[in-house]
Amino acid sequence: MLISNEKIKALVSDLDLVDKKQLESLYILAKEEKKSLAKLLVEKDVVEDAQLGQLIARAVGYDFIDLNKVEIDDEVLKIVPEVVARKQKIIAFGRDKDGIKLAMANPKNLEIISLLEKKTGQEIVPFYSTERIIRTALVKYQQEIQEEFSKVINENISQAKEGAKAEDIPVIKIVDSIINHGYENKASDIHIEPSDERTLVRFRIDGILHDIIKIPSEVHELLITRIKIMAKLRTDEHQAAQDGKISMKLESGEKIDVRVSIVPIVDGEKIVMRLLSEKSRQFSLETLGFSDVDLNKVKKVMKLPYGMILSTGPTGSGKTTTLYSIIKILNSREINVSTIEDPVEYDMDDVNQIQVNQKTELTFAKGLKSILRQDPDIIMVGEIRDEDTAGIAINAAMTGHLVLSTVHTNDAPTTLPRLLDMDIEPFLIASTVNIVIAQRLIRKICTQCVVSESLSRDELKKRLPLKDFDQHFSTDKKTIRIYHGKGCGVCSGTGYKGRVGIFEVMPVSETIKSLIMQRVDASVIRKQAREEGMKTMMEDGIEKIIAGMTTIEELLRATRE
């Protein structure tokens, strides 16, 4: 172990990164199970891997390197053979006049440094990086996805034409490669779409679909059958939609859950696989994108013992992630947390999670009724879809429970009239809903290829046509500096890397409660909320444009209705 658990505890404690009680609990657990406290802190999503890596690097006297933010030249990478890199947990990532830059999980390993210096004839400059970051970066040794697939398919295409079975190794290798590469490229979804001439594999990365590879149509049925077997679905059913789940271990050693949806279309069966992995669970309220003002509003409401916290937005806007982040903060051994979800997206420690099941008639409403008989303190309802679920959730919030849920509306003020449409009495809404959080996800500019440009007010107004333009941009400024990514190897030429939320946080004040009682429409509630300091998603996005986090085009793409 590079650094002791006691030292890790002191480093994290000194910076007030985590709750002292939680830190002590994890420290005791690490001691009892003889585990690394650093590893536990990351696994439990208490501290981000890179953040902890910087602390450790400083403590041991080495520079820290986050390989996720570095473009590594192939020739530099090959200085260390892949077998050695995996075994020693090292990666060569740069070379200059000072020598070869080497990321190491243990930069004090003088033996491997000496061996590489003898082999290369150059000085080795060690950097510290975490095991997790190095393990993720090892994918850089693999061939390009198109080359790997082409090799596998070309070698075995004759078998496929001769009627090979889905259990044959070539098909297994293709499916495993698709999922592995999707995971390593941080795809949230994998689409496998058939047509007459070929099957197209696409990855959704940072919310945008990218074409990855075209596979001969002869292989499509084999892929379908293989995935159905893995997801425990019927292989003889081709005309009905099927849903299933795959749990598998990746080449990196990490476990991943894959949610599978298969639907029949004109050209065959289409598959969409949602990747739910440990890598995706690295989230906290601080890193989701809330401004300091909005974050304080959310944290203030979280401390209330009962009432409702509602998150709203379209599918894929990060609503569930926000609610999970809140639950992670609130969850402790002293309270009982239960959820009813469709589907359960991430397994959470010490949380009782129930999966909606239409076959057994376990709906949101019925599941919620059952949860209320389980002595809960905090309840999360995946989505309020109908009057029954809304009514039970509101009553639960009235009777001393903290209820978190999502609703499909376009913005925060519209959510309250939406509940009225579900025949919930105004006084019940006014007395239970504590806060509404509306959100969207936008792509962040890649920090490795970010460039800036100065635009005149007129030029900016053409690119960002807003009615209240002058309210967002000071009239005394003749030019405004904005940013974009020019594209590089780190971001695969897109100019974007990662995503962040834009938010509209609306606490339900006494005045807004009064408006709810009067059954006013959303525009009146919006006006009052703005007077009380609510920032719209557009305004939040503009602040992120000025701060160099995102682009005008990305904001317009995410906020269009």
Instruction: Give the DSSP letter string of 454-474.
Output: EEEHHHHHHHS--TTHHHHS-
Q: What is the mean pLDDT of the chain?
A: 87
* Cis peptide bond upstream of 343, omega within 30: yes
Q: Which amino acid is at 405?
A: S
Q: What percent of the chain has pLDDT over 70?
A: 92
* DSSP secondary structure letter of residue 64: B
Max Cα separation, the chain?
A: 80
pLDDT of amino acid 559: 86
Q: What is the mean pLDDT of residues 68-73?
A: 87
Confidence category of residue 166, pLDDT binned at 50, 70, 90: very low
Confidence category of residue 488, pLDDT binned at 50, 70, 90: confident
Burial class from Cβ neighbours inside 10 Å (0-12, 13-18, 19+) for residue 3 reads middle
CA dist list (Å): 520 to 176, 387, 394, 418, 523: 54, 20, 20, 12, 8
pLDDT exceeds 90 at position 293:
yes
* DSSP secondary structure letter of residue 280: G
pLDDT exceeds 90 at position 272:
yes
Q: Which amino acid is at 82?
A: E
Cα 375 to chain centroid distance, Å, stands at 31
What span, in angstroms and rounded, lies between the C-alpha atoms of 257 and 276? 5
Q: What is the mean pLDDT of residues 163-175?
A: 65
What span, in angstroms and rounded, lies between the C-alpha atoms of 54 and 91? 17
Closest C-alpha to 70, from 127, 148, 146: 127
Confidence category of residue 515, pLDDT binned at 50, 70, 90: very high
What span, in angstroms and rounded, lies between the C-alpha atoms of 25 and 255? 25
Of the ranges 133-147, 159-173, 505-519, which one carries the lowest mean pLDDT score?
A: 159-173
Residue 253 zone, left/alpha/beta (φ > 0; ψ -120 to 50; rest): left
Q: What is the pTM of this model?
A: 0.74
What span, in angstroms and rounded, lies between the C-alpha atoms of 396 and 375? 11
Domains and CATH numbers, the chain: 5-140 (3.30.300.160), 142-277 (3.30.450.90), 285-559 (3.40.50.300)
Question: Which one is predicted more confidently, 476 or 367?
Answer: 367
With beta carbons less than 8 A apart as the criterion, state whether 499 and 207 touch: yes
Helices (H), 162-303: 169-184, 220-230, 285-288, 292-302
Instruction: Give the DSSP letter string of 338-360.
Output: EEEESS--S--TT-EEEE-BTTT
In which residue are the tokens 């939680």 written?
Answer: 22
Instruction: Give the DSSP letter string of 220-241.
Output: HHHHHHHHHHHTT--TT--SS-
